[in-house]
Amino acid sequence: MVTKTDAAKEQLSASARWVVGITGASGAIYGVTLCRQLLAAGYHVHLVVTDAGWRVLKEELGWDASRRLDCLNEQFEYAPEEKRMTYHPLNDIGASIASGSFRCEGMTIVPCSMGTLSAIAAGASTNLLTRAADVMLKEGRPLLIVPRETPLHAIHLENMLKLARLGVRIIPAMPAFYNGPQSIEDIVNFLVGKVMDSMGIDNHIYKRWGQPDGNE
């Protein structure tokens, strides 16, 4: 039996697509959690992971980076025929998301390394991820970047300011503690929820100020 919720997700997934990039910055769990939330909400995810991103997925989450498609299947129930997620190899510069004619809601890079951020700020489309980000800028579509680095020097800050002036949403991976997090999951969900807020996607995965359970 198909419920109204299932039907709504099916209809949504037919047209609503987000590009998600995961780079080699620490905090791979942020990108993984965002993908899971988007899939659960009925969105189609177009995923790009840098080589350094795969290394971090291995180091931080224990993924076997040598079995990339198997990892995606295990973690996201990745199945190309179901059209829930499309994985694009980093060097596939001819992928759909490399063209401005590809329609999508926007793109988020979480976490974003300073190297990737620098390339985007310079307009250097050296791989599919930076090319897809460049497409978002030239087409005027939402681009959200979650930088994860500390401390920051002047070049980092100047690159973020440059992108912010171009309309890019900069959402640093900064946890909050006013919501009384009790676990790492609570901290991760806070950031992912804030990212989804900026994406314009309704969510109840973190406790909001003035709302005891976060779901009111």
78-122: per-residue pLDDT in tens?
666 666 899 999 999 999 999 999 999 999 999 999 999 999 999
Tens digit of each residue's pLDDT (9 = 90 or more) over 188-204: 999 999 999 999 999 99
Domain contains 215? no
Check the annotation: does 31 bind a ligand: no
Report the number of distinct structural domains present in the chain.
Answer: 1
Contacts with 149 (C-beta within 8 Å, 6 or more apart), sequence order: 25, 113, 114, 156
Check the annotation: does 113 bind a ligand: yes
Check the annotation: does 26 bind a ligand: yes
Check the annotation: does 50 bind a ligand: yes
What is the rounded distance in angstroms from the CA atom of residue 5 to the CA atom of residue 137? 33
Query: Domain containing 119: what range?
Result: 12-199
Domain contains 206? no
What is the rounded distance in angstroms from the CA atom of residue 4 to the CA atom of residue 128? 37
Alpha helices for the chain (secondary structure H): 4-13, 28-40, 51-61, 68-76, 114-122, 128-139, 154-165, 184-199
Q: What is the CATH number of the domain that holds 192?
A: 3.40.50.1950
Torsion of CA 58, 169, 43, 205, to 10 degrees: 80
Q: Is the pTM of this model over 0.85?
A: yes
What is the rounded distance in angstroms from the CA atom of residue 179 to the CA atom of residue 44? 30
Domain contains 147? yes
What is the rounded distance in angstroms from the CA atom of residue 180 to the CA atom of residue 176? 8
Of the pLDDT bands very low, low, confident and very high (cuts 50, 70, 90), residue 3 is: very low
Check the annotation: does 178 bind a ligand: yes
